[in-house]
Amino acid sequence: MSLLQVVLLAIVQGLAELLPVSSSAHVVVAAVPACLNIRHAGVVGAVQGLSLPFRGFSRSGATISTGMLAGVSKQTAETFSFALAVVLTPVVVARETMRLVQMQSTSGIRSISSVFGLCILGAALAFLAGLVALKWLSRWLESGRWYLFGIYCLVAAAAVFALYRSGY
């Protein structure tokens, strides 16, 4: 994989925060807001867990929407949603690192360090692009335009389904 491919894929990964695609590039949040009760936290956490096996499903969108439907404020739902991502991100990074090591042993790559440097660069660029995308998503939420994200997800899902049905 070339340096240009890594840069492009990293930017796509980060911008995927705006798509109905989950991404591991989330903002770190230190504490769960005090105005979130155990029942709300349990329901939002359950939705986060149920979303995990579905590639292309926006966990952030699902958890924020669930929190808001449960009566939690927009800001609290957003903060808690990204706090949940903090718990998952190290696990995902560890899993992908193990996959990279396994790939080395099965594909005959002599030095994992040649691939590892590109992975670090890709992760850093994806993180930066993700921050930009999350800022945009947060503005939609805070300005009362959250429904636009839902509409976008439906349109994007229809487009992906159409591409899939046509053989892509």
Mean pLDDT across the chain: 76
pLDDT in tens, 93-107: 777 778 877 777 777
Report pLDDT for 118: 79
Q: Is 10 within the bounds of a domain?
A: no
Share of the chain above pLDDT 90, in %: 4
Kindly write down the DSSP assignment for every residue of 104-115, as one continuous string.
HHHHT-S-HHHH
72 domain residue, yes or no: yes
**Within a domain: 138:** yes
Domain limits for position 105: 19-165
In a domain, 140, yes or no: yes
Candidates 156, 14, 149; CA nearest to 78 is 149
The count of structural domains within the chain is: 1
Query: Is 87 part of a structural domain of the chain?
Result: yes
- Which one has a higher pLDDT value, 68 or 88? 68
Q: Is residue 64 part of a domain?
A: yes
Q: How many Cβ atoms from other residues are within 10 Å of residue 63's Cβ?
A: 26
pLDDT, position 24: 43
User: Above 60 in pLDDT, residue 112?
Assistant: yes
Q: For residues 134 and 15, which has the higher predicted lDDT (pLDDT)? A: 134
41 in any annotated domain: yes
Residue 135 in any domain: the answer is: yes
pLDDT confidence tier of residue 90, bands split at 50, 70 and 90 = confident
61-64 long-range CB contacts below 8 Å, 24 or more apart? 61/20, 61/149, 61/150, 61/153, 64/141, 64/146
Taking residues 6-21, report their average pLDDT.
Answer: 58
More confident site: 65 or 31: 65
